[in-house]
Structure 1
């Protein structure tokens, strides 16, 4: 048997052959084309417009592109075929708007003359925080959203007005147009929504919805205060209403809708009232959360076709919530967005405080001094009321010994009715009424609440400095705390401290007056003197906590107001009121016959009858015991 040997030559040949095969396979590897990944968003009931098609992807020829767009957009394939991404800026001296080709909507709204609390430009719209869209169906069973389609811009001049026409085209003679017109020195921008030649394109049997949404940016230092004065306002049926926090409503006959952000507002006005408008307002974050946004606002309202076409004349307003400015827009009621308070409080602000303020700012540039002068004017106007209150207090002090004698003469609960009758008789003869001390205090309450609205909502105080406060519309800070105190905050404000001290001394000085106004303590009745002493300390502390996060202008007003009140009280007490003369006058009054009103006669008769019934019950009780 032949022995097999290892063949070296065969082994080398196999290695060479394998190398040749490997080289051939590697050099002749079939080329794999990279996978073309495109995000196509279909225009159907459940999806949106094809974004990538609108970005003009590469097609081998225009015919293929036209076919693809036709399948996606139907009659509006023209917009994808010839439209392109881009932006157009239109502006005047006050506002600058950046309008995007995509959606034909405003992408940026800059207020040129304002800055945020941290010195940044004030943008009401930026970084996709707002959206304006019209959703409609077509006769070929597509659902389209204008915010996803490309409009073609065209800027022209109409005298001093700048006109921007944004057209969503089916053809040159068939289109949906947004028309913006900017006028010099005006925050209002004329805006029209109209269609031409689309009566056979838009499906009239389906709803055409206008959707406007906004996430309101934070612009002020105190988010809590800014949130407090940010509301959703609207005018419907000739009446201005507002949505409270996290509310939603459906309203009809809406003339305008305002998304208010304390000192700034975004408003959409329509000459054709909107019906079945769904309005919603939601807090974006809690009051104590440091957030970029304040609230989210939304409106959705159906648009009506006229002869198969859209035709709405509207206006945008992007500007300050300035009462003096908004009042100039006649027959709009936009000035109510400024929120001066309801009823008598708003009446006082409109007819008294704003006219006085406008007069003072005409020749005084320092807004802290304006607040001080306004405070002096208010205190002078209210000084007769303060004098009346002190005069009543002095009269009560003079007759107080007589009332104490009556208490001693008729002791016990069984004589309560008789005791009260005698005390009222003494007061009536002296010409003193318990209500005479209460009425002056009540008259000052409307002023208090009116100014509580006036200072925090008046944009003229925004970012105006006075002494250590760099913004009279927000809180002043003299010390930043490393922690947060509930209901107080993480900072120390000086104006509330000064106001609290002034209130303490005012109440301390006023304590004797208040005690004079109180009738002597009767049996079974609480001792009011103890309550008054407790209020002397409670009120300043409450003021300190409550106003620490409020506008420093408001705290400045209360500080100056209480100082002036203390000074006026000192003058009245020591130089105006003479207790000896009052006592002599009361004695003269006692000699004169007292005219009793019919109401007083009925009241005296009722008290006398009650007293007789009480005495009869006592006699009956004694007879039973016998």
Structure 2
């Protein structure tokens, strides 16, 4: 049985890549969170409509401002809550201008509400969101530069006695976190010991591709597990709720920004719910509830920190609480590849202050140079295999009735010429983690967010040269030029690397083995559909990578590999082996001649 015109290393590599793409798609479309969702009934019930028996009749809503170099925060007098958080150094995507030109508000128009809920013995409930807070003090420490705002609400049931203070603090420089403390005095003597802290956060889209951003929006949390602090998350795709114990912090993460609640003391029991919205103005609604037990009715004091800021790895590391782990660089060793290989190269090239599209191109060149020894060995293997194919064809013909002998003969031929056919598969396996890591790298690098290159508006989102009036499954409703260029370059490279192999095979009517050569040419079409909606930086990287591959192909072929010399070496090894066995036979014959009785 004759082998067909097929590069088995390429086919195996293609199958492995297709397998990775299938797994990648499955992971992104299914909830890979295996946590238990057993709920505490009392906590869950408190999210339903609640009876409020006190309402402040004041209608005027005053606002208090806190500001530093990066944040501008507006606090409402009604309820004392944060009404608006404006990030000065970032912009939100504007669908009218197709660029990031809108002011970026992480909190706006009461999409972020929190309150204390007190219950009396008759189960009637009073919420602090009905209180009116007056300015008590606003001071700035000249030494530390910290501004402290204290707003105070009177106890509506204390006959003028008792109060509740909300205390906000902000640093004067580039701090994205603020302090939030709650202090009371004779505030809830008529209520049961303890109260509920409730938070309701609606997350709005900030990026170009709402669906893509939604897939990166989810709840992360850190909890104390024995002596260690573990970090887990809720599903990014499905509505999910969960009871969490011994909580260190909770993060409401979007694609590039996050709110993080950091309590001063560990929260013993927290109920959190994440509700997903596939359409509309809301990406997700996250609800949070925990019970705070107090021993002294005369007063209590709680302290938190709120982080409103970007998902910048170096910035989050400074907090030393594991916040950097909410950046989805991938799982397992893929995260290490992104953090300690690609990110280091990217940050080094970023210092050149070049356009970020140029930086990605330079990054591709650097990575290809680092991996060039593997590319050289792979091409050398391919060239050697091409030269010995006539010999393999002869062995196939000679041992066509005995498959075992044929395999032994072929393996002996490989050994004689000094090649290992499996090394091509090993090289492909080595490059698959790099291939997959980039899918997680480019959509999570905030430095690329909103950066343009040529016709590309945002390198962290897809580029579109044509909007389609219909939706194509797996492809989308737009045409990405960079994806087209990448697929075309991949097709050319596939054609070049596979060209000429048929010269060593006879064209006979043997249909016992199907010609699978078409699989090699199927890959560009698959990638065209698969990454059309991915970050344009990824398409730019792969397009550049294939242009370099084509250049490597001609450079290695013309200047680094001499196929005639390789063929001569093959003949020399064959002659050496032939002479070796000839000498062995001659020695045996001479021995028998000297000892005829044996």
With over 3 angstroms needed to count, the CA separation of the structure-2 counterparts of 1:49 and 1:361, relative to structure 1, is: farther
Alignment of 1:291-306 (within 5 A): 291-305=280-294
Rg (Cα) greater in structure: 1
Deviations 1:384-427 (A, max 9, x none): 11111111112222332222222112223xx2223222222222
Distance 1:358 1:306, change over 3 A: farther
1:156 aligns with 2:159: no
**SS at 2:148 equivalent:** strand
1:319 aligns with 2:306: no
Aligned positions, number: 509
Counterpart of 2:517 in 1: which secondary structure? helix
* Displacement of 1:545: 2.1
1:211 is the counterpart of 2:198? yes
Report the alpha carbon displacement of residue 457 of structure 1 after superposing the two structures with TM: 1.0
The 1:400/1:179 distance shift into structure 2, 3 A limit, reads same
3-state SS of 2:529 partner: helix
Change (3 A) 1:400 1:97: same
* CA distance in 1 between partners of 2:352 and 2:121 (Å): 64
Q: Which residue of 2 aligns with 1:47?
A: 51
Q: 1:425 to 1:145 in 2, by over 3 A?
A: same
Displacement of 1:231 in angstroms is 1.8
Q: Could you tell me whether the CA contact under 8 Å between 2:483 and 2:532 is conserved in 1?
A: yes
Q: Is the 8 A contact 1:304 1:310 kept in 2?
A: no
Matches within 5 A, 1:255-270: 255-270=248-263
Deviations 1:95-117 (A, max 9, x none): 11111122211111111222221
SS of aligned partner of 2:283: strand
How far does residue 318 in structure 1 lie from its aligned partner after superposition? 0.9
Greater shift, 382-391 or 490-499, is seen at: 490-499
Deviations 1:576-607 (A, max 9, x none): 112232233344555779xxxxxxxxxxxxxx
Instruction: Note closer, same or farther for the CA distance 1:573–1:525 as it changes in structure 2 (3 Å cut).
Output: farther
Report what 1:69 is aligned to: none
Query: Of the two structures, which has the highest relative contact order with CA contacts closer than 8 Å and spacing of 6 or more?
Result: 2
The residue aligned with 1:352 is: 341
- Structure 1 stretches of 4+ with a deviation exceeding 6 A read 513-518
Would you say the 8 A contact 1:49–1:148 is kept in 2? no
Match of 2:409 in 1: 422
Query: Is residue 241 of structure 1 aligned with residue 232 of structure 2?
Result: yes
Q: Which runs of 5+ in 2 are unaligned?
A: 1-48, 95-100, 578-598
Kindly tell me: are residues 424 and 48 of structure 1, through their superposed partners in 2, closer, same or farther at Cα, counting changes over 3 Å?
Answer: same
Task: Render the CA deviation track for 1:123-148: whole Å, top value 9, x for unaligned.
Answer: 11112222112222246864211222
- Alpha carbons 1:394, 1:516 under 8 Å: kept: no
Is 1:580 equivalent to 2:564 in the alignment? yes
**Is residue 161 of structure 2 the alignment partner of residue 179 of structure 1?**
no
TM normalised by structure 1 equals 0.76
Mind listing any 5+ residue stretches in structure 1 that lack a counterpart?
1-44, 57-83, 594-626
Q: Give runs of aligned pairs for residues 472-487 of structure 1, distance below 5 A.
A: 472-487=459-474
Aligned counterpart for 2:394 among listed residues 402, 405, 408: 405
- Larger mean CA deviation between 253-262 and 507-516 belongs to 507-516
Q: Work out whether residues 349 and 359 of structure 2, in 8 Å CA contact, stay in contact via their aligned partners in 1.
A: yes
Inter-partner Cα distance in structure 2 for 1:100 and 1:515: 76
Whether the 8 Å CA contact 1:305–1:311 is kept in 2: the answer is no
The within-5 A match list for 1:495-514 is 495-512=482-499
Change (3 A) 1:515 1:344: farther
Q: 1:473 & 1:87 partners in 2: Cα distance?
A: 36
C-alpha contact (below 8 Å) 2:53/2:124 kept by paired residues? no
User: What is residue 22 of structure 2 aligned with on the other side?
Assistant: none
Structure 1 CA distance for aligned equivalents of residues 132 and 283 of structure 2? 31
RMSD of the TM alignment (CA)?
2.8
